[in-house]
Amino acid sequence: MNTEDLSLEDVDLFFGKKQILRGICLRVRPGEICGLLGPSGCGKTTLVRIAAGILRASRGRAVVLGESMPKLLAMARIGYMAQGDALYPALSAEENLQFFGSVYGLRGKALRARIAELAETVNLSEDMKKPVHLYSGGMKRRLSLIAALLHKPSVLILDEPTVGIDPLLRRGIWAHLRGVAQEGAVILVTTHVMDEAEQCNRIAMLRDGALLALGTRDEILSAAGAVGLEEAFVRFSGGAPEEGAV
């Protein structure tokens, strides 16, 4: 196995007696954006938290950058953006980023330049001095995205990164993510927006904690005999996974 991959190996997760994830197998390689798509409550956040080393699988394992998670060495090379923004509301956006940067050992001129570069890509340059409690939901999402990208991570794990962000800016963010992938990063991103899933190299469809389908958009559509991802999702949900789709 490539030591730069993100790999979930037969992952089960229980909260108490309730099974949340069922036998998830998924590998994302450098240069690839894999989209995790599924309805609310299907287990997307739980799955990415296991990949990020925040939760431990009940059975099976997550292997990231050659390390069985959770492992500090790998975690330092992961950029994780949680579904809920983990920001300091009383600090300005810039101060938040200076703090997160310092956690990763970034400082001084290099950190300031990196913050300025990323603020530009998400259109926050004018708002860097503003305290975060004055930020809108979409602005906080964009700031959290910058925080995850600051240290140029080899693995990016993003939980619904574009919620509340307008279509134009969303397009810009996806263009940036594609650039990051092209430079060799592994990207795992959750969404329940179908058109966003179409921007991914591969899509993993999740329902009730199990993978329904995994493949490129075209592979999934042809396995489902569907014209759109939404229809494919409904078809897969109606029965057993199609041969070759998972």
Ligand X SMILES: Nc1ncnc2c1ncn2[C@@H]1O[C@H](COP(=O)(O)OP(=O)(O)OP(=O)(O)O)[C@@H](O)[C@H]1O
- Footprint of ligand X (CB under 6 A): 15, 20, 38, 40-46, 83, 192
In the stretch 73-92, what mask flags binding to Mg ion with x, by CB under 5 A?
A: ----------x---------
Nearer to ligand X, 41 or 137 (CB): 41
Q: Report in angstroms how near the CB of residue 240 gets to ligand X at its nearest.
A: 21
Q: Report in angstroms how near the CB of residue 211 gets to Mg ion at its nearest.
A: 16
Tell whether residue 121 is a contact of Mg ion (CB under 5 A).
Answer: no
Contact 153, 184 (CB under 8 A): no
Nearer to Mg ion, 46 or 154 (CB): 46
User: Does the CA dihedral 203-205-209-212 come out positive or negative?
Assistant: negative
> In 16-170, at which residue ranges do the beta strands (DSSP E only) sit?
18-28, 33-37, 59-64, 67-68, 78-81, 155-159
Nearer to ligand X, 154 or 191 (CB): 191
Q: Which residues pair with 64 in a beta bridge?
A: 6, 67
Q: Assign residue 39 a region: left if phi > 0, alpha if psi is -120 to 50, beta otherwise?
A: beta
CA-to-CA dists, residue 95 to 38, 132, 137, angstroms:
35, 10, 18
Contact 203, 220 (CB under 8 A): yes
42 binds, among ligand X, Mg ion, none (CB under 5 to 8 A by kind): ligand X
Identify which of 70, 80, 216 has the alpha carbon closest to the alpha carbon of residue 154.
80
Contact with Mg ion (CB under 5 A): which of 7, 45, 96, 144?
A: 45
Nearer to ligand X, 35 or 101 (CB): 35
Nearer to ligand X, 79 or 209 (CB): 209
Identify which of 206, 212, 213 has the alpha carbon closest to the alpha carbon of residue 47.
206
Tell whether residue 144 is a contact of Mg ion (CB under 5 A).
Answer: no
Q: Report in angstroms how near the CB of residue 19 gets to ligand X at its nearest.
A: 10
- Where along the sequence are the contacts to Mg ion (CB under 5 A)? 44-45, 83
